[in-house]
């Protein structure tokens, strides 16, 4: 059955809504735990940083879903923004993505030493998490390309004929960003042994899989069918 453009844009977004319905109340329960509420930085307490760190991923993944689908079904962004469409999308992606990481680091500093874990153990685990994350970003740059990783195939049909990448970290998984990339958010949480940052890192790692099943996987089916 043929879908309308609106139906195509919202295809499988019930998964996105269901994910938020499960994750955000769980996060609210975690926010009531005293170790999560401990500490402050730059005039804001950890509770405020905690919720800011929770809102940015929602804004980021909603932004990506909407931009990808508007472009995939009707080239709307290209019609509105012309040749700058992908560059402007990538700029917004970068701002939200870097903010996503930066606020977790700030939260970890504000809420440091709130987990019953020796410093040496937390820092050792942080380094273990960092290594595959760095290898993932190296593999993206070396073999995949950041433009393609940002969804250039939604904007430029020439990307759709490129073969699957099976080098670097992609030899072990086709979903490297989801499996290993988000370990980068566990690094500050473990390094500073922050209960609040650890909860946010877990949220991010679960929520990015919501994005995969609700948005990226169905988009790949459409693009490469």
Three-state SS for 81?
A: helix
Query: How far apart, in whole angstroms, are the C-alpha atoms of residue 89 and residue 79?
Result: 13
d(CA 224, CA 162): 10
Query: What per-residue confidence (pLDDT) applies to 160?
Result: 81
Measure the CA–CA gap between 120 and 118, rounded to whole angstroms. Answer: 5
- Give me 71's structure tokens: 């472009």
Q: Which two tokens stand for residue 8?
A: 């195509």
Here the tokens at position 155 are 């904007």
pLDDT category of residue 2 using cuts at 50, 70 and 90: low
Using CA atoms, how far apart are residues 19 and 109, in angstroms rounded to an integer?
28
Question: What is the C-alpha to C-alpha distance for residues 147 and 201, in angstroms, rounded to an integer?
Answer: 25
| Residue-level length of the chain | 225
End-to-end CA distance of the chain: 16
- Name 189's Cβ contacts closer than 8 Å, sequence gap at least 6: 104, 108, 126, 197, 198, 200, 201
Structural domain boundaries of the chain?
Answer: 39-224
Instruction: Determine the Cα–Cα distance for residues 204 and 207; give it in Å rounded to an integer.
Output: 5
| Alpha-carbon span 65 to 201, nearest angstrom | 21
Give pLDDT, residue 218.
95
Q: What is the pLDDT of residues 81-137, one digit of tens each?
A: 999 999 999 999 999 999 999 999 999 999 999 999 999 999 999 999 999 999 999
pLDDT of residue 211: 96
> Please, which contacts does 166-169 make with residues 24 or more away whose CB atoms are closer than 8 Å?
167/139, 167/142, 167/143, 168/135, 168/138, 168/139, 168/142, 168/143, 168/144, 169/132, 169/135, 169/136, 169/139
Q: In this predicted model, what pLDDT tens digit does every residue of 30-77 receive, in sequence order? A: 999 999 999 999 999 999 999 999 999 999 999 999 999 999 998 999
């Amino acid at each position: 059955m043929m879908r309308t453009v609106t139906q195509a844009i919202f295809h499988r977004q019930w998964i996105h809504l269901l994910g938020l319905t499960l994750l955000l109340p769980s996060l609210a329960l975690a926010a009531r735990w005293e170790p999560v509420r401990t500490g402050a930085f730059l005039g804001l307490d950890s509770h405020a940083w905690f919720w800011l760190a929770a809102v940015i991923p929602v804004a980021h993944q909603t932004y990506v879903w909407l931009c990808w689908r508007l472009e995939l079904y009707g080239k709307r962004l290209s019609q509105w923004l012309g040749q700058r469409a992908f560059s402007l999308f990538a700029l917004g992606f970068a701002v939200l993505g870097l903010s996503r990481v930066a606020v977790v680091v700030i939260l970890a500093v504000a809420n440091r030493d709130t987990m019953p874990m020796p410093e040496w153990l937390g820092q050792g685990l942080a380094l273990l998490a960092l290594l595959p994350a760095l290898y993932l970003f190296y593999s993206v740059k070396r073999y995949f390309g950041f433009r393609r990783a940002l969804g250039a195939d939604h904007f430029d049909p020439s990307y759709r004929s490129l073969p699957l990448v099976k080098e670097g970290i992609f030899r072990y998984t086709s979903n490297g960003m989801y499996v290993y990339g988000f370990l980068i958010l566990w690094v500050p949480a473990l390094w500073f042994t922050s209960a609040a940052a650890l909860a946010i890192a877990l949220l991010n790692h679960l929520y990015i899989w919501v994005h995969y099943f609700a948005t990226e996987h169905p988009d790949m089916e459409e693009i490469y069918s």
